[in-house]
Amino acid sequence: MNQLGFPILTTITFLPLAGAILLLFVPREREELLKWVTLIISLVEFVISLPLFIYFDEGKAGMQFVEKVPWIKEWGVTYYMGVDGISLLLILLTTFLTVLCILSSWRAVEKSVKEYMISFLFLETGMIGAFVALDLILFYIFWEVMLIPMYLIIGVWGGPRRIYAAIKFFLYTMAGSVLMLVAIIALYFLHGKATGVYTFDLLKLYQVSLPIKTQYIMFAAFALAFAIKVPMFPFHTWLPDAHVEAPTAGSVILAGILLKLGTYGFIRFAIPLFPAAAFKAIPVISVLALIGIIYGALVSMMQDDLKKLVAFSSVSHLGFVMLGMFAFNVQGVQGSIYQMLNHGVSTGALFLIVGMIYERRHTRLIADFGGLSRVMPIFATFFMIVALSSIALPGTNGFVGEFLILLGTFKANPVYGVFGATGVILAAAYMLWMFQRVMFGDIKHPENRGLKDLNFREIVTLVPIIIMIFWMGIFPKFFFKKMDLSVQHFLYDVKARYEAAVTAPEGGGFLVKGVKGSKVKLLIKE
């Protein structure tokens, strides 16, 4: 069935869920045990996900480790999972970051440890499932499943305005998802009409070529759902609220993985399903991405709350991801995928770091710090490296992604490239200014004088990230070779179908002739 001979994707998808169930049987008073069990489960999960990388055949462009079982035959729903070079690295990022999140929660979570750990494992299942699902219904289920534990993590273990933030996060994402659901069902019927095969199988749905107007509507529905998740300007306002209120590990996962599901959604669903519309949308998406880059950076610069600052910097970084993706060339798309990983690693680390000083001082206001380098030299070193990775210094992972994105964008459209590159300057400005205010200068507040430097657990949490920052920055080929063919295949496929759509007679597709955009509504009714 696959190169490993056992259903590895099902295993890594549901192992955390099984772990969550196991936790149900651990008494709630035994908090240390609960933490250890969760940590071990997440570690096992990470170890199991490594063979995916090792045995992934970089010589193949298609899906690997495929598992395909009919599920609801009458409706054409299949239990269909697979991994290609694009999702592979994101899955590893998920299992990697989850371990660090559990470690970082050791002291930060004081109430309802059991429920917290269960939520986290449940969340991991949702995230991995969404990355491996190749059936639209299956994907949608995982996509929605993720919302619940995240909602709880923010709403139960969050800060003072946690309820507002959690509801905003939930409803905002939900509003986008509902439109996507409608589009999924419409697509199902359109494909069924055209071919007589009613299926939610993503790879089969790729084959359908819709008339351009239909594509616009469908693309818009998908794109909205994903754009909210990314979040792209102007759908980003839930993000600062969610980040500020979420507990540290929640922020790490939110920034590190959940946002990537938005960008991943574009590259896996919105673009290849509706290539013609995607190509037509290049100006819109690119301009919004550019606004995100510059606007996010400028707003980030003025924040007084560390978490908000990092949240807005995410808007800026994710703008780069979208910009590169819509360059539609190898450098742009590879840079974009790499930037997703980078952002997961370095912004995840930034949230961990903010969490560490929050645990010590119970404040995140920049003005409450200053001069920490003197009392916390080890912390200062870690913080500096992560900040440099975030501003894409060559030699760190951030540079590889940002450089390729800007290079690809410049090739596709020099004007976008020039505007995008200004983000390089702004990033340095907001990051270093923040670093200076927190770490340099004299110690103004006596409370900061006695701060303890990082303990062993905290160092263990950050060291893997530092290793990744340099590994990904110095030996990017190690990762690129895994995604190379998949990206080239993606581009080839998308471009070919885009050209087929625009050159087809009467602007329609070859499969669903005569179905114009206006008829979509009718089809949905049927």
Partner 1 sequence: MIEYVWLIPLLPAVGFLFNGLIGRWYNLDKRVVSWVACSVLGLSFFFSILVFFSLLKLPPDARAAVPDKVLFDWIVSGGLKTVIGYKIDPLSIVMAMVVSGVSFFIHIYSVGYMHDDPGFTRYFAYLNLFVFMMLTLVLANNFLLMFVGWEGVGLCSYLLIGFWFERDAPANAGKKAFVVNRVGDFGFLLGMFLIFAHLGTLEFNEVFAKAHLLDPVTVTMITLLLFVGATGKSAQIPLYVWLPDAMEGPTPVSSLIHAATMVTSGVYMIARCHVIYSMAPVSMAVVAIFGAATAIYAASMGILQFDIKRVLAYSTISQLGYMFLAVGVGAFSAGIFHLMTHAFFKGLLFLGAGSVMHALSGELDMRKMGGLWKKTPITFWTFLMATLAIAGIPGFSGFFSKDEILWQAFSSPHGHLFLWLVGAVAAGMTAFYMFRLTFVTFLGQCRASEEVKKHIHESPPIMTVPLIILAVLSVIGGYVGIPHVLGGRNYFHEFLAPVLGGLPEGAGHASLSLIKSAYAAGAVEEIGSVNWEIILMVVSVVIALIGISIALYLYILKPDVPKRLAQRFRTLYTIVFNKYYVDEIYEACFVSSAKKIGTFFWREFDDGVVDRSVNLVAGLMLWWGRVLRKIQTGYVQGYALGILLGAVVVIIFLIK
Which one of 122, 172, 358, 369 is in contact with partner 1 (CB under 8 A)? Answer: 172
504 binds partner 1 (CB under 8 A): no
Would you say 17 or 228 has its CB closer to partner 1?
228
Would you say 55 or 478 has its CB closer to partner 1?
478
Distance CA 278, CA 358 (A): 42
Which one of 50, 284, 302, 502 is in contact with partner 1 (CB under 8 A)? Answer: 302
Q: Mask of contacts with partner 1, 229-268, x by CB under 8 A?
A: -----x-xxx------------------------------
Q: Which stretch binds partner 1 (CB under 8 A): 246-254, 282-290, 427-435, 496-504?
A: 427-435
Contacts for 129 with CB less than 8 Å, ≥ 6 apart: 13, 138, 141, 142, 145
Tokens of 48: 């199991």
Which one of 35, 114, 168, 497 is in contact with partner 1 (CB under 8 A)? Answer: 168
CB of 75 to partner 1, least distance (A): 32
432 binds partner 1 (CB under 8 A): yes
Contacts for 359 with CB less than 8 Å, ≥ 6 apart: 107, 108, 248
Of residues 449 through 478, those in contact with partner 1 by CB under 8 A are 474-477
Contact 117, 38 (CB under 8 A): yes
Which one of 441, 451, 464, 493 is in contact with partner 1 (CB under 8 A)? Answer: 441
178 binds partner 1 (CB under 8 A): no
Q: Nearest-5° angle of CA 220, CA 136, CA 207?
A: 75
Contacts for 319 with CB less than 8 Å, ≥ 6 apart: 232, 233, 288, 289, 290, 291, 292, 293, 296, 423
Q: Which stretch binds partner 1 (CB under 8 A): 15-23, 40-48, 67-75, 328-336?
A: 328-336
- Cα 42 to its chain centre, rounded Å, is 19
Which one-letter amino acid corresponds to residue 220? A
Contacts for 19 with CB less than 8 Å, ≥ 6 apart: 37, 38, 41, 42, 45, 121
CB of 115 to partner 1, least distance (A): 27
> Which residues are paired to 78 by β-bridges?
70
Give contact residues for partner 1 (rule: CB under 8 A).
Answer: 168, 171-172, 234, 236-238, 295, 298-303, 329-331, 334-335, 371, 373-374, 377, 388, 393-395, 399-400, 403-404, 406-407, 410-411, 414, 417-418, 421-422, 424-426, 428-429, 432-433, 436, 439-442, 474-477, 480, 484, 488
